[in-house]
Amino acid sequence: MISGYDTVLITAGPAGGPVGRFLRRWSSDRWPAMRVSLDDSPFLPLAEQTAPPPDRAEILLAADDQMVAAWDEKGYHLSPSGDGPLMLAYEPCPASRLRMLALNDPYCRTGFAYEPYETTLIATGLSLITIVTPDHDSDFSVHAIDALATSLETAAT
């Protein structure tokens, strides 16, 4: 499978800082030999790559040179170790109103039955962040999405 699974996250403010934090943590915690391509630049070790711009970028991530080499042939695949390449893209959200389906109770009430319902998010200064993973339900993909969301939450608080 050459294509991957897209997950879109929405956050307040520019995404470059939180994405940079995610990259540093991911490299430190999981992929010490991580290779990064920023906006079609050659793959380089994270320490040799320039910082991501604050407003918009496309970033390709691979665990090492072997994953970079396998990407063109195998695409977004899980390696025998259970990891796979990732792509992050972010940009300002041009919409100031977004209709959404609230799958979780936005009021965070407990003890009540909850039925998902439509809601409208009204805000400016939002950013859209897309993370492309090999699939949506492997331990690796779930962990990558959660780690990115944690970096975005940390920036928002």
- HSE-up (13 A, CA, CB side) for residue 142: 3
pLDDT averaged over the chain?
94
> Could you tell me the two tokens for 147?
């780690």
- Mean pLDDT in order along the chain per 10 residues (157 residues): 87 95 96 96 93 93 96 91 96 96 93 93 96 95 97 80
* pLDDT value, residue 2: 65
Residue 86 phi/psi, 5-degree rounding, is -130, 155
Q: Burial level of 94, CB count in 10 A (0-12/13-18/19+)?
A: exposed
> Could you tell me the two tokens for 21?
């934090």
* pLDDT value, residue 157: 64
* pLDDT value, residue 99: 96
Tell me which residue has tokens 């956050």: 11
Q: pTM to 2 decimals?
A: 0.92
* pLDDT value, residue 51: 87
Residue (of 41, 37, 138, 46) closest to 84 by Cα position: 138
* pLDDT value, residue 1: 44
For the chain, the maximum distance between any two Cα atoms, rounded to a whole number of angstroms, is 52
* pLDDT value, residue 76: 93
